[in-house]
Amino acid sequence: MPRARERGAGGGGREVKITFLIHNAYGIGGTIRTTLNLAAALADRHDVEIVSMLRHRARPRFAVDPRVRLVPLVDLREGSPDAADPRLHEPAVAFPAAEKRYRQYSRLTDLRAEEYLRRCTADVIIGTRPGVNVYLARFGPRGALRIAQEHLTHDAHSKRLRAALARHYADLDAVVTTTEADAAVYRARMPLPGVRVVAVPNVVPEPPIPPSDGAATVIAAAGRLVRGKRFDLLINAYGQVAAKYPEWTLRIYGAGPERERLTELIGERGLDGRARLMGARSPIETEFAQAAIVASASTAESFGMTLAEAMRCGVPVVSTDCPLGPAEIITPGVDGLLVPVDDGQALAGALLELVSDETARRHMGQAALVSARRFDPGPIAGRYERLFAELAESRRTRSRSTVWRRRLRRVLRR
């Protein structure tokens, strides 16, 4: 790998310096969680750093492995020097305007990202959202392996943003999606000659708590309270469960703009006290382990972290078969059930199937524990290490080929 260093005595293998670029490591979200998980897994063998474009609080909400350095670039906290910098209020130029987070970026963010990347000495740099990946393509050192992770699906980006990404991603070494289905879409719709497009699932560590025994009369769900998660559909489906099994409750974990509307819906359906909005929780596994079923009614998922986290807790999952993640996580009838998107009757039927059959729930929960091992940190970190090695070898091959072509041209000129 580029600039690889031998590990110290007893370390074994080769150590590289790996830098992750993230939007805001101090918040709550699936990308933050999985980046911290992967960074910790790679820190077993490598020198790992996470660079947060923004910082809005003193400490991260999620625990950061002590072996992983966290470097914020722009401090948004009241009273910080950056908060008084006039460039913070100037629009970003390098960050793509079509990116959903564009208004959170500024000329100051542009300049800090460029300054950091120009002097970065990492062997591998991994961006974790589209606009940050553009920073990496524009300013990242050519000597490093530069990799764009995509935690959103190709089709979740606007046409305008996809056009911008195609231009910049062509300068990177690889694009990594979280599902094989999304990788196939990128290969078909965003041709990137010479750029590897591969799928590597998210790291989902084994939680340090006992798994669910399947006996609790609780259905759980988690995620941002936004329309795309279709918690309204889930509440309506749960209403059919509650009518037949009044002892069963629904707990929805998360925060977001739909909270008021969902609260009203719960009241309208006469489900007060049985369907409850619990607010955000971290770690969510503690809550999932107290449930017998975890449900998702989303219209789209780039991966489906909550599904994998639930399975890690020995809980079977009922999910819509939405693009693109659930079908690669759940084996229907084995560790969970899949239902069509936007089909409230099918969702209610799947929930009733598991609610009414404790034996099936327990068997699926045990199967979920086994199948979720594929998200162990070690194997996922190993897939990234192999990718780094393959990209480095590809570079050497291209470099030798370039040298040979130059020599041939010199010979032909004589």
Burial status of residue 184 (CB atoms within 10 A of its CB: 0-12, 13-18, 19 or more): middle
User: Tokens for 271?
Assistant: 């489900």
Q: Sheet holding 69-75: strands in order across?
A: 69-75, 47-55, 17-22, 124-127, 145-150, 174-177, 196-199
Q: 51 and 25, same structural domain?
A: yes
In degrees to the nearest 10, what's the CA dihedral of 82, 87, 92, 93?
Answer: -130
Q: 196 and 72, same structural domain?
A: yes
Least confident of 58-67, 291-300, 392-401: 392-401
pLDDT at residue 5 greater than cutoff 60? no
Stated pTM of the model:
0.87
H-type alpha helices, 174-247:
180-189, 231-244
What is the C-alpha to C-alpha distance for residues 158 and 124, in angstroms, rounded to an integer? 28
Burial status of residue 142 (CB atoms within 10 A of its CB: 0-12, 13-18, 19 or more): exposed
Average pLDDT over residues 384-412: 69
CATH number for the domain that contains residue 100: 3.40.50.2000
> Is residue 394 domain-resident?
yes
Q: 222 and 197, same structural domain?
A: no
Average pLDDT taken over every residue of the chain: 92
Q: What band does 9 get if pLDDT is binned at 50, 70 and 90?
A: very low
Report in angstroms the alpha-carbon separations of 185 from 164, 188, 247.
17, 5, 44
pLDDT tens, 309-337? 999 999 999 999 998 889 999 999 999 99
| Domain extent for 281 | 218-374
Q: What band does 12 get if pLDDT is binned at 50, 70 and 90?
A: very low
User: Tokens for 244?
Assistant: 């037949």
> Is residue 409 domain-resident?
no
What is the C-alpha to C-alpha distance for residues 327 and 78, in angstroms, rounded to an integer? 44
Q: What band does 404 get if pLDDT is binned at 50, 70 and 90?
A: very low
> Is residue 380 domain-resident?
no
pLDDT at residue 129 greater than cutoff 90? yes
